[in-house]
Amino acid sequence: MARNRYSQTRKNDRKPLRIFQANVGKIPPAHDCALALADSEQYDVVLLQEPWTAHTETRTLTKTHPAYDTFTP
- Per-residue model confidence as pLDDT tens digits over 12-43: 668 899 999 999 999 999 999 999 999 999 99
Give the per-residue SS3 of the chain: CCCCCCCCCCCCCCCCCCEEEEECCCCHHHHHHHHHHHHHCCCCEEEEECCCEEECCCCEEECCCCCCCCCCC
Residue 36 located in a structural domain = yes
Residue 40 located in a structural domain = yes
pLDDT for residue 59 is more than 90: yes
- Average pLDDT score, the chain: 89
Provide the total of helices (H) and of strands (E) in the chain, helices listed first.
Answer: 1, 4
**For the residues 63-67, what does the mean pLDDT come to?**
95
The predicted pLDDT at position 3 comes to 62
Nearest to 51 by CA among 24, 33, 73, 14: 24
Domain that holds residue 37: 19-62
pLDDT for residue 10 is more than 60: no
Residue 56 located in a structural domain = yes
Residue type, 19: I
Residue 6 located in a structural domain = no
